[in-house]
Each structure stands twice: as C-alpha cells, then as structure tokens.
Chain A
C-alpha cells in the first residue's frame, strides 16, 4: 500500500539553521509535511529533533532558513501564534493537570460558555459531551467526562492531548517522542491514534528514535544527525534495518544512497 499522499505540503521548512551561541544545533535542515501524511523525524539523542520542531511551533526563531505554511512565508513569534495558525505540539509533559477531570483538561483555556454577562458560565454539558465523543472517536472509552486525568494511563493521556489538539483545529500536529515512556500496549494505542488522526487529514510530524514505531505509522522518514538531515525516504523504499543503521551514525550511507533518492 502506498500511502504517500499527492497533496501539496502544508508546511515546508527550507534550510533551517539554529545556533545557540557557539552551538550549532541545526545546520540547514529541510523538511515538509502534507495533510493526511505522517512524516517521521528520527535521530539519536542530541541530533536536533526537538530544536527543529521548536522552530516549527514558534518556540525558537530559526537563525537562518525559511518556513512556508499553506504556501505563504511564515514567521511565528510565539507558540500561541503557531497554535492559532493551526500548528499544535503535544509535548512530553503534555500540558495536562492530573487532578482535573478529562473534560476540564480538554477545554482548559478554551472553555465553551453559555449565557451572558455575569451569568456567563462554563458549558459543562457541551464540554462533557464533546470530550466523550472525541475520546470515543480515538478509541478510548472513558468511565465518564469527570474522570481525573491522573487515573488515565500514559497512552490514554497522550490520546487526550492529541484529541484536544485536533479538536481545536490543528492542521499540523507535532508529537515529540510520544511513545518513549510507554509500554508496548500503550504504544500500540498511541500509534493507532496517530493513524486515525492522519486519516482525518491532519499532517502529523512524529518524532521518535524507535525505528519500529516509525515504521508502524510513517509515510516518510527523515533522519537527523548532528543537526543535519541524512536524507528522506518514503515508505516501502527503505527497510527497518537500513533505517536503523542510518540512525546509528550513517555507516551504511553509501549503500543507501540509491534508496534515499540521492539526497544524502
């Protein structure tokens, strides 16, 4: 099955550089992602993956390079800017509050209201209903909308965070190592969630350093090493072993040149 989409990329990053003082975290990385596609960003620790997606989501301003979003050049001043444009990031800490209910977390900072003036109140009915619906859509049956997030498993929490981002209009969803702290079954759930979200037409950027997780859902794979791309491969054009070797430092690079379309 070839899942490479024929859509135009929604987000296109060209030759992104990011320097922190003397440290060159990114030395010219190009990357794009299309609606309905899951583009995996792989690389060892310290390769620059997090730094790269932070330039995507408005946390860092790139030192050099250009960002095009929906065909237009973009420069985000803050994560809020990027979020409003439709680029949402689910960070590892998830921005969720364990003591609060799923529904309250889901709508935190964006509460639906009913009524006017001083009687304007939190529309708990809508919040509860939407939360249950959205969670069910992603295959999670909550005990109730008032279940505390703290009682959810790690994978379910990831799903709440993803569902929330998608519900609030994410066109590009960035996931920074969502599976790294999870067990096998939880990981499977999150991967299934990524697949569902992609099928809804969201462009997913999935960061991981686990080749098997990437292979499970990825349409394209980009490997970062020391702030540079080692190339981008499409699904079906690269084996897990080749991808693993590439990540491990690129010893097999010469062999792979062909399969990576000469972009090494």
Chain B
C-alpha cells in the first residue's frame, strides 16, 4: 500500500534511532553475543579440528536436538507459561513411536503423525489443567515431569517384558520412504560432488569425510524459522506476546488467550515428539531415560535466548543461538584438555548471567529505572 500522506517533519523521527540502539533492544542480542564469546574461547583453547566442517556438524547435532525443545519452550515462555515435562515427553513420545513402529508394525506415514498427535494431546492435557485450575504451569508440569517419565518406564517394561529399552526400530523402518526425512544425513549426493570438486575433506578413497548434513540440523533450522515467522510476522505472534505480557489486558482487548496458551502447550509437546522421533530413528531404539533433564536445558537455552521468566518477551532465534552455545560447550570441551564436568558449572553460570542480562534489557526496553 503506497503511503498517501505527504512527508512531514515528524516522519523523520522514525529513522532517528541508530541501528546499534535498535539492536541493543533485541531479545536475542545476549545469545548472539554468547555465541561469539564461546566461539572466540574455543578458537583459542580448542583443537582446530573443532571448526572444520566435521567438527561444526559434530556440535550442531546435539545443539539441534536440544534446540528444537528450546524453541518450543521459548514460544511457551513468551506466552507466559512453562512446561517442565518436555524432557519426559521425549521419552514418552519415544515409547509411543517405538511401539507404533516395532510392536504394531506401522509405516512411518502413520506412526509419525500418530506420535505427534499423541504428544499434542498430552500438551493439551497439561494446558487444560493449568487453565482450568489457574495453578502455575510450573507446578502442574512438574507433576507431569514425573508422571510421563514413570509412564515411559512402566510402558516400556510392559511392551518389552521387563526391559526399559525397546530395540528393533531400525529393522522395522528399513526401506520406509519417510525414513530419510527424519534420520541420517541430508544431501549425500551434494557432498559427494563437493568432495569430487575438492571443496571438502575426503578420505583416501575419495569419499567425503562428511556424508551430509544430519537431518536434525535441518529440522532445527526449519522449526526456528517457522517459530520466528509466527512470533514476529503474524497476528498469532502478537497474541502470544500479549497473552504472556498480561493475560487480563490481552483478554480484554479481544485476544483469545486460552486458545493461544493451549496451542502453545500442544506445540511444545509436539516439538518434544519430533525430537523423540529423530533420536529413536537415529539410535534404532527407544529408552525410558531419553530426554532426561532436557526440560531444564531447554528452558536455560530459552532464557539465554532472551526469554523473560515472567513471560511476554523473548525470541525463537535467541533460543536457537542459546542451544548452539550448549552444543558448542558440550562438544567443544572434548577438543580441549579441560575436564568435561566443567560443563555443569558453565550451565549454571550461563543461566545466571543470562537472567541478569535479560533483566537489564527489559529495563532498557520499558525505560524502567
């Protein structure tokens, strides 16, 4: 739509804020700064192999698995709620998926939608309890952290006659047309071509050392893009910010707050199910311990990504970078002489810094002193 009004002096005010000042107000700023810092750190102390193509993909894979959860968590946090059950949901959805594929012999075209729908249903159940009772989602989903984990253990033993692992997924999906979408490496042909052109490292026999991009990385990027698009470019995104910022004010202004929150709970659980599907296909088995404590890492990544614990503010791109920081440190430490258990110290430290930083940003955005 062309602007019909004649330019007036006041219009210039639109552009007076310098680019840097605008950047300083973006919620994902902290996470991007974090990525830069961590990269510089490992460039100095780590074996240079970390930043070869193979090394980068090596830390992006775990980052992607965490990141898909973190983006779900971030969306929900912007909407003003928590879900502490996503880690357990990974195991629970993994059990459902494994049972569909192995026990009932379903093709992926049935098993995948069924698993996603089942998880969304669990998410809706979480959400309904939170919305109906008005209890904090923190407590309700903490209960489900234990319930889903317990159900996964019991269910797996029941499905396998006493084991907490269900094997045989790889055989069951052998030759399934959908399998390459959710497991293995993407674009193998491209990487062979790159190897032949001498653009990437090869083994002695001329095959590329890296056979493709692990599919979870592509899913990670796709989920981040979709979530960012929804948050920043759609009406629903405005509803999410509003619902998390002040549910009463949003509701008074006509935002369907309950529907928004319910959908977010479903989305978060579906993200957990996606991670479950990818990891189960990847390892060929499902395990009741899968996703253990991932809810905390996901929330930390979301907070590093700029989400406020009070809701109404945050970013999916921020959570994306937050998860990459995790992957870099987790894997990066193996390229150094540093004791790996520093990872936990790092985790807590990062969380603390991020919360302090976010608080500062929030004050800057609201002009609060």
Contacts and interface: CB of A to CB of B under 8 A. Distances in A.
Interface of A: 79-80, 91, 93-100, 104, 107-111, 113, 120-122, 124-126, 129, 132-133, 136, 141-146, 148, 150-151
A125 B2 CA distance: 10
Given A108-B255, A109-B254, A144 B17 contact: yes
11 contacts: A91-B252, A96-B246, A97-B250, A100-B242, A100-B312, A104-B238, A104-B241, A108-B253, A109-B254, A121-B235, A124-B233
B1 interface: yes
By CB atoms of chain A within 10 A, which of B3, B10, B22, B229 has the most?
B10
A122 B238 contact: yes
Given A99-B313, A109-B239, A148-B365, A143 B245 contact: no
B7 interface: no
Given A79-B252, A144-B17, 20 more contacts: A80-B254, A94-B249, A95-B253, A96-B246, A97-B242, A97-B245, A97-B312, A99-B362, A100-B245, A109-B253, A110-B253, A121-B235, A122-B233, A122-B238, A125-B1, A129-B3, A141-B10, A143-B17, A150-B366, A151-B367
Interface in B264-312: 308, 312
Interface string B218-253: 000000000001000111011101100110111011
A129 B5 CA distance: 10
B16 interface: yes
A99 B249 contact: no
A232 B82 CA distance: 53
B14 interface: yes
A229 B110 CA distance: 70
Interface residues of B, number: 36
B13 interface: yes
Contacts of B255: 108-109
B8 to A, nearest CB: 8
| Closest 10 pairs (CB-CB, A-B) | A150-B366, A109-B254, A151-B367, A97-B245, A111-B235, A109-B253, A95-B249, A95-B252, A109-B255, A108-B253
B366 A98 contact: yes
Nearest to A84: B254
A132 B14 contact: yes
Contacts of A132: 10-11, 14
A191 B362 CA distance: 31
B367 A150 contact: yes
A155 to B, nearest CB: 15
A120 B234 contact: yes
B156 to A, nearest CB: 37
Contacts of A148: 365-367
Interface in B1-43: 1, 3, 5, 10-11, 13-14, 16-17, 22
A99 B16 CA distance: 21
B248 to A, nearest CB: 8
Nearest to A149: B366
A85 to B, nearest CB: 14
A150 B246 CA distance: 13
Given A122-B238, A132-B14, A96 B249 contact: yes
